A and B are shown apart, each in its own frame.
Chain A
Amino acid sequence: MEPTDAELIAAVLQGDATRFEPLIAKYSPRVFATARRYARRESEVEDIVQEVWFKAFQKLSSFRGEAPFEHWLMRLAVRTCYDFLRQHQRRREATFSELSDPENDWLDQFVAAPEEARDDAAAARELIERVLEMLPPAARLVITLLEIEDRSVKEIAELTGWSVPLVKVRAFRARAEMRKCLERIAQEKYL
């Protein structure tokens, strides 16, 4: 029978660091999926996930076991991703004139017949990635958690460590920022 998370954690805290490996193997897929929402390059994704596991190892004694280990780990993961976004605020000043041909075609199709522009197209996915990269870190995090992952304000507050009113304020600002980005697309492409 496989040891439970609580047993593995207890063993690690007693000094047997090798018992940490099954936890890494078990939860890394979830952490990688989270990190890939905020970083594009695979080397950056791997750096984020490694950072999450280093922090988890160093702070393991602060895990009280009241909630599942996965919840505690995902809080660490989201906060590490936010730190990454703040440290890598690049391309914010980029313009939408750099849109690729498929992205331009998708936008043209959307303008001509919005209902026919497919949301499963790769170009749409590239475009939303581009828009998210233009957002400030807090806005990107909130839009991702609230709109894309469909999480509640309370869940976001728990994941980020922000208060519920702060999440609401940041969500309001994030939507406004996103609207501004989309307005820029429209202006630069069609005016």
Chain B
Amino acid sequence: MNLVDLKKKLIAAARRHPPVDDVPYGFEKRVMTRLVSLPRPDEWTLCVRALWFGASVCAAIALLMAVWFFAPVSEPDTPSFSQDLEQTILATAGDGESIW
């Protein structure tokens, strides 16, 4: 079976039969009835929700910072940047002395 051709045929079949756009009778009336009956949150509710959201974000950040601050820090095995810099500068100075 040629799968490429089969795919083309099936896609062509789907293109030839676009779905109908019929709308059930009275659909917009039904939606409007439900929309009007939906509880609409007042400004205070929205404000309180936003404050709770902000508070939870702040708590999460504080928790992460606490974990990071109190977590045991292991000493790195490699020499620090200052040691590297010192070695590099002294190495150059050593070369200079040998020249002079």
Contacts and interface: CB of A to CB of B under 8 A. Distances in A.
Interface in B1-47: 1-3, 5-7, 9-24, 27-32, 34-36, 38
A138 B10 CA distance: 19
Contact of B16 (A54, A111, A120, A127): A120
Q: By DSSP majority rule, is chain B's interface helix, strand, loop, or mixed?
A: helix
Nearest to A117: B9
Q: How large is the interface on A (under 10, 10 to 19, 20 to 34, 35 or more residues)?
A: 35 or more
A48 to B, nearest CB: 12
Interface residues of B, number: 32
Nearest to B23: A28
Among the interface residues A49, A129, A147, which one has the most CB atoms of the partner chain B within 10 A?
A: A147
Nearest to B11: A147
13 contacts: A29-B23, A32-B20, A34-B19, A36-B19, A37-B19, A50-B34, A54-B38, A110-B1, A117-B9, A119-B12, A119-B16, A148-B14, A148-B15
B31 A53 contact: yes
Interface of A: 17-18, 20-21, 24-25, 28-30, 32-34, 36-37, 42, 46, 49-50, 53-54, 57, 110-111, 114, 117, 119-121, 124-125, 127-129, 131-132, 147-148, 150, 178-179, 182-183, 185-186, 190
